[in-house]
Amino acid sequence: MSATIHRLDARPQPSLDSMVKLVAGDLNLVNAVILDRMQSEIPLIPELAGHLIAGGGKRMRPMLTLASARLLDYTGARHHRLAASVEFIHTATLLHDDVVDGSDLRRGKRTANLIWGNPASVLVGDFLFSRAFELMVEDGSLKVLKILSGASAIIAEGEVNQLTAARRIDIGEERYLDIIGAKTAALFAAACRIAAVVAERPEAEEAALDAYGRNLGIAFQLVDDAIDYISDAGTMGKDAGDDFREGKSTLPVILAYARGNPDDRVFWKAAIEGHRSRDEDFEHAIALVRSTRAVDDTLARARHYGQRAIDALGSFGPGKAKDAMVEAVEFAVARAY
């Protein structure tokens, strides 16, 4: 008897296709809930919410709820409403994020705050957040409500933590991991964990799915951070250099700063404080993250969390769902290459 060992270097060209295919039918039902529950008598609400919700997101978090439910052979329908709730929480945070960052582009489209203004984005975010809780209340599980209200509080704390770290070069890797653990990974973890709750599985399986989602979320975010220093606009729908020009202390910057010589540190400090945003500055930044191996090692960190995500699934039996969830991790960490 031999165990199946999933290693991150397994597939040459991993994609999200297996997961998309696995949950396609369920995702249609989730989308129907989303469309139905973003309606309101106030026309601006579905108009603004629809711009973002229909705007080309991957539905990563609801897909994780659905795939996790598949992994557990759950045959009910409760996860459709809850996956929609998770997507509403995510959409609300994106709306508020774009206000906080003053962003004007998301997923290659103009942001809602640019089109309708900050006040509308704040308030429609609040509406979607309330709707998310209404959906959970309709489901009726206090355990799910506890998981998602807890995740929401942690996300908000992470956002405030990030805000107080803004434009500071000296935040360090540990605090940065705290921030993305709260901002990004907490909802990935909750999205997976609630599938175990609706499937009425033991705490150990809840914890395993939580760990899968949490580590995947961190890996996703770290690869996003790395991509900002290697991709070009054509490939990712996100301009390389956005984080740099916005003065974000992401892990590539934190590592390059820590490993740099005194001149490099002067440069990074000025850049993060907003005084180095020309194209030449970004080219210099790219050169520094390369020479210090800061991007390579950001991706190495991502692979570490990706492998932990895969190993968290170890106790679940083999099958299409598990394969798709493993490949999603491979995809997450391979996007940068």
Residue 241, number of CB atoms within 10 A of its CB: 20
Nearer residue to a second copy within complex by CB, 54 or 137: 137
Which is nearest to 225 in space by CA: 214, 240, 213? 240
Min dist CB 328 to a second copy, Å, is 27
Residue 238's region, left for phi above 0, alpha for psi from -120 to 50, else beta, is beta
Cβ-based nearer residue to a second copy, 37 or 303: 37
* Backbone phi and psi for residue 106, each to the nearest 5 degrees, phi listed first: -145, 130
Query: What is the rounded distance in angstroms from the CA atom of residue 146 to the CA atom of residue 120?
Result: 28
Minimum CB–partner distance for residue 119 and a second copy (Å): 4
Q: CB of 181: closest distance to a second copy in angstroms?
A: 13
Q: Cβ 33 to a second copy, closest distance in Å?
A: 15
Q: What is the C-alpha separation between 205 and 315, in angstroms, rounded?
A: 8
> Long-range contacts made by residues 264-268, C-beta under 8 angstroms, separation at least 24?
264/288, 264/292, 265/169, 268/169
Q: How far apart are CA 162 and CA 182, in angstroms?
A: 10
Nearer to a second copy, 118 or 277 (CB): 118
Q: Residue 302 is which amino acid?
A: A
CB of 172 to a second copy, least distance (A): 16
- Shortest distance, CB of residue 296 to a second copy, whole angstroms? 31
Inter-helix orientation angle 142-164/78-101, to 10°? 10
Q: Which two tokens stand for residue 244?
A: 């740099």
Q: How far is the CB of 31 from a second copy (least distance, A)?
A: 20
Q: Within 10 A of 318 (CB to CB), how many other CB atoms are there?
A: 11
DSSP structural state of residue 281: H
Q: Element (H or E) spanning 101, and its range? A: helix 78-101
Q: Which is nearer to a second copy, 123 or 258 (CB)?
A: 123
Instruction: List residues near a second copy by CB under 8 A.
Output: 40-45, 92-93, 96, 99-101, 118-120, 122-124, 126-127, 129-131, 133-134, 136-137, 140, 142, 145-146, 149-150, 152-153, 155-157, 159-161, 163-164
Looking at beta carbons only, is 175 or 284 nearer to a second copy? Answer: 175
Rounded to 5 degrees, what angle do the CA atoms 139, 144, 148 make?
115
Instruction: Decide whether 15 or 40 has the Cβ nearer to a second copy.
Output: 40
